[in-house]
Amino acid sequence: MPLPRFAVVDVETSGLSQRRDRILQIGAVIVESDGREIDRWSTLVRLRWPLQRVGPTDIHGITRPMLRDAPRMSTALDDLTERLEGAVFTAHNAQFDAGFIERAARHRSGFDLGPRLCTLRMSRRLDPGREQSHRLIDVADRFGVPLVNPHDALADAAATAGVLPHLLAAHGITDASQLSAFFDR
């Protein structure tokens, strides 16, 4: 069975708690297994309450005024769902990104990200002694993939999409059935 398309997704959030914090930005890059880009999309997400915190602005650069006219989460999820159609959800630390998205979509019937491919898990398996850093910026650097604006959802998704073909090749993955070892769930 040939390799599928991959929907490489990244979220920027107001913090690390899926219970307390919210998504501020979603980025997605849809690629073939060889890294050929099919689509690229990003959106900021309007906060539900005007005074809700935006978290570490010094890290993600997102301010409250930037979110004022952004689409609501429901619109962002509709747009993301379109892009996920027929593709494997992929992220660097898939548990984090998928967890926030699934929490945001918890009231939507039938919403399911399906299997979640984790490039962080793939990178760590190449280094069982954990002698290297597996942060996205370091993994991208190892494979010569540019990460121009770290902690921007689209830039992080693009870097992860660039790293993905290298990780697939390093693990000798040529068939969809071989991906399950790297699924987050």
Tokens of 133: 């850093």
Strands (E), the chain: 5-13, 23-31, 37-44, 87-91, 116-118
Specify the pTM: 0.95
Tokens of 41: 């999309």
Give which of 56, 60, 20, 21 is closest to 44, Cα–Cα: 60
Is the pLDDT reported for residue 102 higher than 80?
yes
Is the pLDDT reported for residue 163 higher than 90?
yes
CATH number assigned to the domain comprising residue 81:
3.30.420.10
Residues 124-163 as b or e (16 or more Cβ within 10 Å = b) = eeeeeeeeeebebeebbebbebebeeebbbbbbbbbbbbb
What is the domain extent for residue 148?
A: 5-182
pLDDT, position 48: 80
Domain count, the chain: 1
pLDDT, position 140: 98
129-155: per-residue pLDDT in tens?
Answer: 999 999 999 999 999 999 999 999 999
Q: How far is CA 12 from CA 1, 2, 92, 121, 164, in A?
A: 34, 32, 12, 20, 20
Residue 20: phi and psi, rounded to 5, are -105, -30
Is the pLDDT reported for residue 108 higher than 70?
yes
Give me the mean pLDDT over the 13-41 stretch.
95
Residue 169: phi and psi, rounded to 5, are -65, -40
29-87: per-residue pLDDT in tens?
Answer: 999 998 899 999 999 999 887 667 898 988 999 999 999 999 999 999 999 999 999 99
Tell me if 91 sits within 8 A of 160, measured CB to CB: yes
Q: How does the average pLDDT of the chain come out, rounded?
A: 94
With bands split at pLDDT 50, 70 and 90, how would you rate the model's confidence at 157? very high
